[in-house]
Amino acid sequence: MNVRPSAVGTHRAGLSGAAAVPARRVASGTTGRTWLRRSVTGLPIAVVVLLASSMTGLLPVQVMRVGSDSMSPTIATGDLVLLDRGGGVERMDIVAVEHPDTGVLLVKRAVGVGGDRVSIEDGVLVVNGAGVCEPAIDPVRLDGVWFGPVTVPSGAIFVLGDDRASSIDSRAFGTVSAGAVRGLVEGRLWPAPGALPEDRC
């Protein structure tokens, strides 16, 4: 899943096109007080402040806009997600990671870490010999899909999209260095703010 960065895991795997509009002061009528208009391009002012802070590097977080549906239904095209730029990656975290060949920023699920043996057997993700129950994955679309097994090197991760039938991920470009991880996706800011769905059955 390609994402466009702006300058702004259990879960702990850029806002572009949303320019800030100058805030206007509006009269409050008989009181004579004025109030700062509380929306900018339709976004809550808290999101705008967070975006501006992350662009300046003041916060250890980054707001990003997702550019494809390869993590559907967990994350959709156009969603704004919040990245935590600190901490290590654990199995089943959703991460923003650089494509190892192009450097394009992708959002994927880290299904394997260093030393793990990963495969897909008739559509079922298998890690270290055990099937992984994934509530976000549609098994009908994965019927008959096989891959691997592969062993994840130390210091690397194996990433997959939740829309496994169409995602371009480690099955195509191999494992990714843990150093290429730009952050952990902590939750969604827009259009439905809150935590992402649980990754386990």
Query: Of 6, 68, 108, 167, which one is the catalytic site residue?
Result: 108
11 three-class SS:
coil
Secondary structure percentages of the chain, helix, strand, coil, to 5: 10, 35, 55
CB 166 within 8 A of CB 72: no
Catalytic residue, from 6, 54, 68, 70: name it.
70
Question: What is the rounded distance in angstroms from the CA atom of residue 34 to the CA atom of residue 154?
Answer: 58
Query: 3-class DSSP state for residue 50?
Result: helix
User: Is 108 annotated in the active site?
Assistant: yes
Whole-Å CA distances, 2 to 66, 107, 159: 7, 7, 13
DSSP conformation letters of 173-186: H--EEGGGEEEEEE
Active site residue 72: no
Which residues participate in catalysis according to the annotation?
Answer: 70, 108
